[in-house]
A and B are shown apart, each in its own frame.
Chain A
Amino acid sequence: MSNIILARNLSLTYDNEEKIISDATFSVRKGEFVFITGPSGSGKSTLLKSFYGNLKPVEGKLIMGGLDMLTITKPKLQELRTHLGIVFQDYRLINEWTVERNVVLPLWIAGYSKEVQATQAKRLLHHVKLSGKEHKYPLELSGGEQQRVGVARALAKNPFLILADEPTGNLDEYSSNVIWDLLENACQQLDTTVVVVTHRIPTIFNIPYKHLQIDSKGKVHEVH
């Protein structure tokens, strides 16, 4: 069970007409760092959605942490999701909540006490270089800052798998570097599996990684 993600002949579609991902076979091992690249519209976000159970396979198999995503029950999926750390392309913070509350959302869901939430929020915001912004609201932050909140939220509960969709999409170098450092650290120090969708693999990257490329026909190739 050292495979965290196992896809065999996996196909994905939204409306059963056109396959966005077709016949993909690949695996991601525990503690691995994976980059997924591909042209815009090739299905990178779609593939990530299937990883967190928002899209069911139409063909083939997808096994996440030993659970078959086609037949997974609602409670099991809910349980699985509490162990994932997801970063969205469009941040998806809760705008009516403070930064602090956003960051500890996974801890709140897991039922941790207010004190634990507060200390963790402090620690996480320090890591993403946002100390002092605890009580701000997401819309009062810049895009880069919002995405760093998103990354902090994904890391909050030490997930076994981080799924990040363009975490550095339109961010400046400073925010990008903060995020890459955090993801590298999570992988290296906590043995967290990290899957990152990006249109550009950072030039300076300090740890070994696997590179999956999706072509415009929805085929997934393992580059290395």
Chain B
Amino acid sequence: MRFIKQHISIIFPLVAILLGLEFFIVFDRATKNYEESLRDGYAMLVVAKDEMSIDDFKAWDSHVYRVAEIEKESIVSRVDTTLNKDKVTTIHERMPNFYSIKLDSYLDDEGLEGVKQNFLKSDKVARVETFDTVHRSNYGLFSFIKFSFQTFIIFMSMLGFFLIIKQMEVWNYLHADRMKVMNIFGASLFLRSKVLINLAFIDAIISAMLASAIFYIIQNSWVRGSNIAILKDNIDKLFSAYDIFSLIMASIAIAMVAVFLVVINVKEE
């Protein structure tokens, strides 16, 4: 029983931290993807008096990523299909040029306004439409989810670290006597910490496996059954085999730092 308790008390906080870490990685990956899709689905409309090239736009604002001219024919023909050729040509000449602008990242309201103002500085630009209400509602929900998740993750990891510090005190209490005796008999730092290293190493591996398993379960039952589009759409990007490796490495690193701190803090008396 004591044996199990000893292991649980390090495995539990490690799993908490690893889940936090994995949530962070996965969420970052999912949001990047979601941001990309939001970005790709968004375009602002610019009405200009003269013909413009992409370089002109890029010179005004560095967020410009792609520029497409909206063909005048398609606009005119949508308005009226019965016009004769001459009239169409005159209309074309008098019409301003329409451009659909795609940006290189997903900007908030302020960012969009900034781009708009940059364009309007030029007297060649007559109007800019940012469609910011649609944009805002997408973005608002998205940032809210992102913020709540990050708060949760930070809270969980802090709790984990707090528990690990507690566990280090317990380790010190349980192992200091043995390490002091060994020290007096001339054992090296490595020999002195060997027992603790072995213990922490095994627990670190177990923790990484548990965290991976928990994530696998979350991915395959909860997310699939849930209605959170942002997660569902990215389900394949949630967790990869490479992550297991990262988790094991992170887990071992945290455990070894903890062990090292305990061992060097054992005072000679």
Contacts and interface: CB of A to CB of B under 8 A. Distances in A.
Contacts of A84: 185-186
B177 A82 contact: no
B44 interface: no
A95 B174 CA distance: 10
Interface residues of A, number: 20
A86 interface: yes
A153 B232 CA distance: 64
Contacts of B268: 54
A180 interface: no
B91 to A, nearest CB: 91
A52 B185 CA distance: 9
Interface in A47-89: 52, 54, 78-84, 86
A86 B183 CA distance: 12
Contact of B186 (A80, A94, A96): A80
B178 A96 contact: yes
Interface string B178-191: 10011111111001
Given A54-B268, A109-B191, A86 B185 contact: yes
A96 B269 CA distance: 21
A106 B186 CA distance: 8
A95 B268 CA distance: 19
B212 to A, nearest CB: 32
A15 to B, nearest CB: 13
A92 interface: yes
B184 A54 contact: yes
A82 to B, nearest CB: 4
A144 B187 CA distance: 26
B184 A94 contact: no
A105 B182 contact: yes
A94 B187 contact: no
25 contacts: A52-B184, A54-B184, A54-B268, A54-B269, A78-B187, A78-B188, A80-B186, A81-B183, A81-B185, A82-B185, A82-B186, A83-B186, A84-B185, A92-B184, A93-B181, A94-B178, A95-B177, A96-B178, A105-B182, A106-B185, A106-B186, A109-B185, A109-B187, A109-B188, A109-B191
The 10 A-B pairs of least Cβ separation, nearest first, read A81-B186, A82-B186, A109-B187, A78-B186, A94-B178, A92-B181, A106-B185, A109-B185, A54-B268, A105-B185
